[in-house]
Structure 1
Amino acid sequence: MTQPKSLDGSANPRAFFGAELRRLRTAAELTQERLGALVYLSGDTIAKVEKTVRAPTEELAQRLDAALGTDGHFQRLFALAEESSRHPQFFALYAELERTARRIEEFASYLVPGLLQTEVYAREVFRAFWPYLRDEELEEKVKARIDRAGLLDSDIEYWAVLDEMILREPGLPPAVMREQLERIASLMRARRIVVQVLSRTAGIHALREGALTVLTLDDSTQVAYTEGPHSGQLLDSQETVRSCRLSYDLVRAAALPPTASLELIESALEEYGT
């Protein structure tokens, strides 16, 4: 059985923000609902910030300092969190949640998911998205992405559905694609991940408009993440997450079984030569 993971307040600045909020709220003998009323938010929102399911804002930091009399403490923590992230602001909170999830389920329609990317493939993606990056900045982004892949060495459960077009990307050198597909295939053979391929013959499906990730956290809470060009959105409304969950399950049901998917990936590998 997968062992639960806890969100360590010392692990990163946003987690520390949440831990400090919980500590100082408790010291002030305020419930989440009472503090929420003081800062014009719901108690549920306070709970989500404490658990690092929702990112704090500068305005919230200011209101917390005023309500708790903390003399700019939360504003300094917020600034630290914003400055220290290795990822784009829209992705930073997701990346933190990803590290504490016990299950990750992804659908990708255009690119190999970040956790599965090779270093060379990731570099090609970043060059396409940010052509003006200096070499050192590019390498920092590549390293941050490859470091994320270390999650697959843990006890996390990872399941991905990939659109078949990802396997047949004509815009990358054959050697890059071969290395990338071999990585996916080797992880599948080692039973570290489960991957299904959505065939080009599947037609219109529930996630035709783009990528989706569903995270299952320690307490069985689920959050969803969607991403577009230079933007992303973490969805924590349970009604919305349920809709995302249904869409993902429908696409997974339409995809090839894992064994047939591995065969298709290995067939695509042969097309890229040796």
Structure 2
Amino acid sequence: MVNIRSLDPSASPLDYYGAELRRLREEAGLNQQQLGDIVFCTASLIGQIETAKKVPTREFSERLDAALMTGGLFSRLVGLVLKSQLPTWFQPYAELEAKATYISTYQAQLVYGLLQTEEYARAVLSVDHPDRLDEMVAARMERQRILEREHPPVLCVVLDEAVLRLEIGGREVMRSQLQGLLRCMQREWIQIQVLPFAVGQHAGMMGSFTLLRFDGDPDLFYAPVYGGGHMTANSQVIRERFVGYAHLQASALSREDSAALITHVMEERYGNRPGSAVA
């Protein structure tokens, strides 16, 4: 039996999306099976999305727009839907990240979220969100769309060497992730440097942090903490962290040497040759 659960469109972006999908499908004179056939999915999936039990993807939304001739309605709505799937404590940061013109980040253990491959993100998020994994991964991939804008933010990333060597998701996932970093380094507005173990003590020993700069708004400092994140515009904190970040950049390898180290670790630690992994 078709699920005809009533939705409150104002309850959440996901509920609004589902209500609009049902309304426009019915206006088009299509049942769930007929629409599913057009957009290459099951009637069950249509029903789950209409009742806010399943989160739509961007690809699904684009197919809906074409099938129902909505003028891009669902492609616009899906961004809000996916953003709403981020942890509540993280959403304010994600909104500010999307508005930043300059992002500087030091990452002690993991690849920065904007640069993660889908497989790497899935492995990372599976630890804390196994029951909502598809939704969380889709939200992270959606977050990365700011790098595809006509005027993307300048992104400067310092990765601890540990990021390259901490095996997340297995060798193939790591190899693909490191290849992804090398591709990102070819973009003129993205700078990636590796902070080698040989540096010893450094300005990032307290952990990962990110600095956001805006056109016309105060700079912001963000640091992840267990179960949440700390964000502040305190001028003294900003000043200290910008100085600290400058020290990290100065201690890190150059772009060229960073690319060489990433390539070396990718081939020697995660290569396909038997016995090629190194400590």
Q: Is the 8 Å Cα contact of residues 218 and 233 (structure 2) preserved in structure 1?
A: no
- The residue that corresponds to 2:215 in the other structure is 218
Tell me how far apart the structure 1 counterparts of residues 203 and 110 of structure 2 sit (CA, whole Å): 18
- The residue that corresponds to 1:52 in the other structure is none
- Determine if the alignment matches structure 1 residue 143 to structure 2 residue 130: no
Tell me how far apart the structure 2 counterparts of residues 184 and 223 of structure 1 sit (CA, whole Å): 25
- Determine if the alignment matches structure 1 residue 189 to structure 2 residue 186: yes
- The residue that corresponds to 2:117 in the other structure is 118
- Unpaired runs of 5+ in structure 1? 1-11, 14-80
Q: Is the 8 Å Cα contact of residues 195 and 251 (structure 2) preserved in structure 1?
A: yes
* Structure with the larger RCO, 1 or 2 (CA within 8 Å, 6+ apart): 1
- The residue that corresponds to 2:227 in the other structure is 230
- Determine if the alignment matches structure 1 residue 250 to structure 2 residue 247: yes
**Cα distance, 1:190 vs. partner?**
3.5
Report the TM-score, using the length of structure 2 for normalisation: 0.64
Q: Secondary structure at the match of 1:128?
A: coil
- Unpaired runs of 5+ in structure 2? 1-11, 14-79, 273-279
**Cα distance, 1:88 vs. partner?**
1.4
Tell me how far apart the structure 1 counterparts of residues 127 and 175 of structure 2 sit (CA, whole Å): 19
- Determine if the alignment matches structure 1 residue 269 to structure 2 residue 266: yes
Q: Is the 8 Å Cα contact of residues 120 and 168 (structure 2) preserved in structure 1?
A: no
Larger radius of gyration: 2
What is the Cα-based RMSD across aligned positions, in Å? 2.0
**Cα distance, 1:213 vs. partner?**
0.3
- The residue that corresponds to 1:19 in the other structure is none
* Identity over aligned pairs, percent: 35
Q: Secondary structure at the match of 1:226?
A: strand
Structure 2 counterpart of 1:111, one-letter code? L
| Number of aligned residues | 190
- The residue that corresponds to 1:109 in the other structure is 108
Structure 2 counterpart of 1:126, one-letter code? L
**Cα distance, 1:185 vs. partner?**
0.3
**Cα distance, 1:170 vs. partner?**
3.4
Q: Deviations over 1:51-83 (max 9, x none)?
A: xxxxxxxxxxxxxxxxxxxxxxxxxxxxxx9xx
Runs of 4+ in 1 over 6 A off after TM superposition: none
- Determine if the alignment matches structure 1 residue 209 to structure 2 residue 191: no
**Cα distance, 1:182 vs. partner?**
0.5
Which residue among 251, 256, 259 is the counterpart of 1:259? 256
Structure 1 counterpart of 2:126, one-letter code? R
Tell me how far apart the structure 1 counterparts of residues 237 and 168 of structure 2 sit (CA, whole Å): 35
Q: Secondary structure at the match of 1:243?
A: helix
**Cα distance, 1:87 vs. partner?**
1.6
**Cα distance, 1:259 vs. partner?**
1.0
Q: Secondary structure at the match of 1:129?
A: coil
- The residue that corresponds to 2:26 in the other structure is none
Q: Secondary structure at the match of 1:87?
A: coil
Map of 1:1-274 to 2, 5 A cutoff? 85-130=84-129, 133-134=130-131, 137-154=132-149, 155=151, 156-170=153-167, 172-219=169-216, 221-271=218-268, 272-274=270-272
Q: Is the 8 Å Cα contact of residues 210 and 222 (structure 2) preserved in structure 1?
A: yes
Report the TM-score, using the length of structure 1 for normalisation: 0.66
**Cα distance, 1:92 vs. partner?**
1.1
Tell me how far apart the structure 2 counterparts of residues 251 and 89 of structure 1 sit (CA, whole Å): 31
**Cα distance, 1:244 vs. partner?**
1.3
Q: Is the 8 Å Cα contact of residues 161 and 195 (structure 1) preserved in structure 2?
A: yes
Tell me how far apart the structure 2 counterparts of residues 221 and 270 of structure 1 sit (CA, whole Å): 42
Q: Deviations over 1:87-133 (max 9, x none)?
A: 21221111000111101111000111100101111111111233xx3
